[in-house]
Structure 1
Amino acid sequence: MDLVGVAEIRDMLGGISRQRVSIIANSKGFPDPVAVLAMGKVWRRRDVARWIAEHRPDQAD
């Protein structure tokens, strides 16, 4: 399972701020995290990539 945290999502979204990533990740419609660890939430990369392709196609890989 390929997991990502806020730092990786930031890179996937073209280097936006960590604060902006946190706002997006907590918004309605963003994939639910698969776990919450001491370092923060983690998501499946494929779920986040799908969300980016659907909601921010100009930032998709």
Structure 2
Amino acid sequence: MGTAEVAEFLGVSRPRVGQLAQREDFPRPVARLAAGPVWESVDIERWARETGRMD
């Protein structure tokens, strides 16, 4: 997932994803491309559940 996909999944803005990505508990990207960081969807989903952002 790129920043736009993470933003849509979490229901936040792309700049907010950038802020969240600075947190110690936010998943680390699996890659950093010219277009930006890329995360595994399972990592984002797990983080969202663990932090109460997803049922």
TM-score, L = length of structure 1 = 0.81
Aligned letter for 2:30?
V
Structure 2: gaps of 5 or more residues? none
Given the alignment, which residue of 36, 40, 50 partners 1:40?
A: 36
- Of Structure 1 and Structure 2, which has the larger fraction of its residues in strand? 1
The residue that corresponds to 1:11 in the other structure is 8
Ranked by relative contact order (alpha carbons within 8 Å, sequence separation 6 or more), the top structure is 1
Aligned residues of 1:24 and 1:30 also touching (Cα < 8 A): yes
Between Structure 1 and Structure 2, how many residues are aligned? Answer: 55
Structure-2 separation of matches of 1:51 and 1:41: 16
Structure-2 separation of matches of 1:53 and 1:42: 19
SS at match of 2:24: coil
Structure 1: gaps of 5 or more residues? none
Q: State the 1:12 CA deviation.
A: 1.0
Q: State the 1:24 CA deviation.
A: 0.2
Q: State the 1:25 CA deviation.
A: 1.3
Structure-2 separation of matches of 1:11 and 1:48: 12
The percentage of aligned residue pairs carrying the same residue is 45
Q: State the 1:39 CA deviation.
A: 0.2
Aligned residues of 1:12 and 1:60 also touching (Cα < 8 A): no
